[in-house]
Amino acid sequence: MSETGNVSTYFEPDPSHASDPSDVVAGCMECEADAVLFDERALPTAFFDLSSGVAGELLHKLSVYRIRLAAVVPDPSIHSERFREFARESNAGRQFRFFPTREAAVAWLESGS
């Protein structure tokens, strides 16, 4: 978890465990975090297969609790075209974004925008 002044507090799940959506929300609530930072390694493989419903379930739960998501996905081109489209569309919004570096993801989370 990180907190800096007036910026967002974010929760970062342990990358050695693929967290289910309820665990992610619970972790955010326990830390009083309004955002979550995922490294690509912490996301289950099924997250990148949009037909699995894993990404949809996670993002739905986060949106219900108004928790923002920043995910570090350095090379989206290794994933399906559908995922790349999904990432582009998400990056146009304010709640879920994908970043090539951890530094960019943290900067967005800390900006609160």
CA separation for the pair 77, 79 (Å, rounded): 5
Residue 22: per-residue pLDDT = 86
pLDDT of 2 higher than 70: no
Q: Is 57 among the domain residues?
A: yes
Query: Computed from CA positions of residues 64, 35, 101, 73, in that sequence, does the dihedral angle turn out positive or negative?
Result: negative
> Alpha helix locations (H) across 1-113?
21-31, 54-64, 81-91, 102-111
Q: Is 49 among the domain residues?
A: yes
Q: Is 53 among the domain residues?
A: yes
Strands 10-11 and 35-39: parallel
pLDDT of 96 higher than 50: yes
- Structurally, the chain folds into a number of domains equal to 1
- Give the long-range contacts of residues 53-61, CB within 8 A, separation 24 or more: 55/86, 57/21, 58/21, 58/24, 59/96, 60/21, 61/21, 61/22, 61/24, 61/25
Q: Is 106 among the domain residues?
A: yes
Range of the domain at 105: 10-111
Q: Is 5 among the domain residues?
A: no
Q: Is 1 among the domain residues?
A: no
27-44 tens-digit pLDDT: 899 989 999 999 998 888
Q: Is 65 among the domain residues?
A: yes
1 by DSSP, 3-state: which?
Answer: coil
CB 94, CB 113: distance < 8 Å: yes
CATH of the domain at 64: 3.40.50
Instruction: Name the most confidently modeled range: 4-13, 21-30, 47-56.
Output: 47-56
Residue 21: per-residue pLDDT = 86
41-86 tens-digit pLDDT: 888 899 999 999 999 999 999 999 999 999 999 999 999 999 999 9
Residue 5: per-residue pLDDT = 41
